[in-house]
Amino acid sequence: MNLRLKKISIENFKGITQLLIDFHNRTTISGQNATGKTTIMDAFTWLLFNKDSEGKADFNIRPNNRQGEPIDNLVIKVSAVLEADGKDILLCKTQEQNWVKKRGSEVSQLQGNINKYEINEIPKAEKDYKAYIDDFMNEELFKLITSPQAFTSLKWKDQRTILLKLVSEVTDHDVISTNEKFSPLSEILKEFSVDDLTAKAKKALKELNSRQAELPARIDEASKGLVQADFAECENQKANLEKQINVW
């Protein structure tokens, strides 16, 4: 699927009071530190995945006043127009505070936040909204194509899995032919698969680690059987015996 972000609108999200960006084939967003560049990306990923641009779901999106306190009774709203295979899709997400006045109390208390979702101006339940997003935009793939650090931050096994998906048509023979030192593998792989050899090596390593763990106990046991001897005294006894033998 060919996806393109055409427009994003942000209201009362973190430090942004109101912002509208129309994206073109190339749009540059620049500015000094702490001027809102990352906030724009946070707003977009919050709209899509309910997370910030670093993948954290537990982050504060409500703007603060000059004293650093959250500003209540503001509606937070992010909307975006995406073009998917030539068709425009309007996504919208708002967050409102849930104030409740309990019986017998004159003061309303904050009981959390309420998120509301729309697709093409049609209200949607959260699960339906998420299912719609997941259908055309995989979160992990989105990270990989939008963040230079996403791939390098993965564990090496996960990196290998992704790379193997990109080169799935490369055979074992293709790899072996690139270097003569791999040539012995050609005969081995006729009988065993790479997974078989990996499992065999893991088993051998596990057995070696087990034997290594037993060594301290065996050394301790052998040490108890050692006989403590005074070698200097033994040498004196030997010398005396030799003198007696020579006298005889």
Tell me the whole-structure pTM to 2 decimals: 0.68
**Among 104, 88, 77, 96, CA closest to 9:** 77
Average pLDDT of the chain, as a whole number: 89
The list of the chain residues with pLDDT below 50 reads none
pLDDT in the model for residue 168 = 67
First to last CA, the chain: 107
pLDDT in the model for residue 78 = 97
Range 56-70 burial, b when 16+ CB lie within 10 A, else e: eeeeebbeeeeeeee
Q: All domains of the chain, ordered by start, with CATH?
A: 3-137 (3.40.50.300), 170-248 (no CATH)
pLDDT tens-digit readout, 170-207: 787 888 889 989 888 888 888 888 788 889 999 999 99
pLDDT in the model for residue 202 = 93
183 CB-side CA count, 13 A: 3
Cβ atoms 8, 40 nearer than 8 A: yes
For residue 177, CA distances in Å to 170, 180, 183, 198, 203 come to 11, 7, 7, 21, 28
pLDDT in the model for residue 248 = 63
Cα separation, 244 vs 248, whole angstroms: 6
